[in-house]
Amino acid sequence: MPPEVYNRRAYPSLKQSHDFVAWLREKTVAELLAAREDSEAMKGVFLRFFERGLRAELTPKELMEIVPTILIRGNFSEQKRVEILAMIQALGIAYLATGS
């Protein structure tokens, strides 16, 4: 099953879920590295990340838990990580994850 079509309800296997999350993380890291100096492109990367994850029926909270590992794998400085997290909050994703 290609990761692009993964859906938790259709494919409830824990292995398939882990495989999808690994693919989503690596795909997002690669896209972020390509967009590294372009903040608008980086926004687009995270919008696609959340769209893919939500389409697969991961919860916003689960997706937000993946974000720090993406930023670490992308080798972003602590300051850049804080900026990216603020950008995600501005997109309203943090609200979805916390429900507040």
Domain count, the chain: 1
Q: Name 96's Cβ contacts closer than 8 Å, sequence gap at least 6.
A: 60
60 found inside a domain: yes
87 in any annotated domain: yes
> pLDDT for 13-25, tens place per residue?
999 999 999 999 9
pLDDT at position 79: 94
Q: At 36, is the pLDDT very low, low, confident or very high (cuts 50, 70, 90)?
A: confident
- On whether residue 94 sits in a domain, the answer given is yes
Range of the domain at 79: 12-98
Residue 41 lies in a domain: yes
Query: Of all residues in the chain, what percent carry a pLDDT higher than 90?
Result: 83
Of 61 and 97, which is predicted with more confidence? 61
Residue 2 belongs to a domain = no
| Short-list 33, 53, 56, 35, CA closest to 44 | 35
Task: Tell me the whole-structure pTM to 2 decimals.
Answer: 0.88
Phi, psi of 74 (to 5 degrees): -80, 0
